[in-house]
């Protein structure tokens, strides 16, 4: 019986810890803090503020759960439930759009890198083939070797750089938008 109580207590502690790990709270003066000051459009169309995104990225950075809860704390005097519904929809839309753009960009970088690697290998193979088949060291043969070998190496290494390092640079933004596109947004009073 005592083991069951310990297991339940542990379960409650794990749930509490998970909730703390998955919850992000941001304190806002008003709804405009979420959006760009330079965008006069209604909330349903406004651009999300760089400051808001920056603070969200900092808060999400160390969160591992797939499902994050974004709690936006706002003064009770300025709260409006119909406005909050519009803002939630706009934020979800923003996060999903940017996730799609970042996925597309990542795919483009990786495909371009793979194309460069393949082109580089083909150029190096062509240079090797010319050297292998060429019986004389003519000006044209020498020029082709001098032209193809460095070009092949350049494309090969640039392609690997794109696939390995450029993709790695873009991954944090992709992960951020992946988490935020799945997040549950709620407004709370303070």
Is the pTM higher than 0.85? The answer reads no
- What is the dihedral angle through the alpha carbons of 85, 86, 87, 88, rounded to the nearest 10 degrees? 50
- What is the dihedral angle through the alpha carbons of 7, 10, 16, 20, rounded to the nearest 10 degrees? -140
Residue 11 lies in a domain: no
How would residue 141 be classed by pLDDT, with cut points 50, 70 and 90?
confident
Number of domains in the chain: 1
Sign of CA dihedral 109, 115, 118, 123: negative
Residue 3 lies in a domain: no
Average pLDDT, the chain: 87
Say yes or no to pLDDT of 58 above 70. Answer: yes
Residue 40 lies in a domain: yes
Residue 100 lies in a domain: yes
């Amino acid at each position: 019986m005592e083991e069951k109580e310990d297991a339940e207590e542990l379960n409650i502690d794990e749930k509490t810890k998970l909730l703390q790990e998955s919850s992000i709270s941001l304190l806002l003066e008003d709804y405009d803090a979420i959006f760009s000051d330079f965008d006069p459009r209604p909330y349903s169309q406004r651009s999300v503020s760089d400051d808001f995104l920056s603070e969200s990225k900092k808060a999400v950075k160390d969160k591992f759960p797939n499902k994050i809860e974004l709690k936006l704390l706002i003064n009770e005097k300025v709260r409006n439930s119909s406005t909050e519904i519009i803002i939630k929809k706009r934020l979800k839309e923003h996060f999903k759009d940017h996730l799609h753009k970042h996925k597309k960009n990542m795919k483009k970088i990786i495909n371009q890198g793979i194309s460069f690697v393949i082109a580089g290998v083909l150029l190096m193979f062509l240079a090797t083939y010319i050297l292998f088949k060429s019986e004389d060291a003519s000006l044209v043969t020498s020029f082709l070797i001098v032209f193809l070998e460095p070009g092949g190496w350049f494309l090969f290494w640039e392609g690997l750089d794109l696939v390995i390092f450029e993709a790695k640079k873009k991954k944090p933004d992709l992960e951020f938008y992946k988490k935020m596109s799945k997040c549950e947004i709620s407004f709370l009073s303070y």
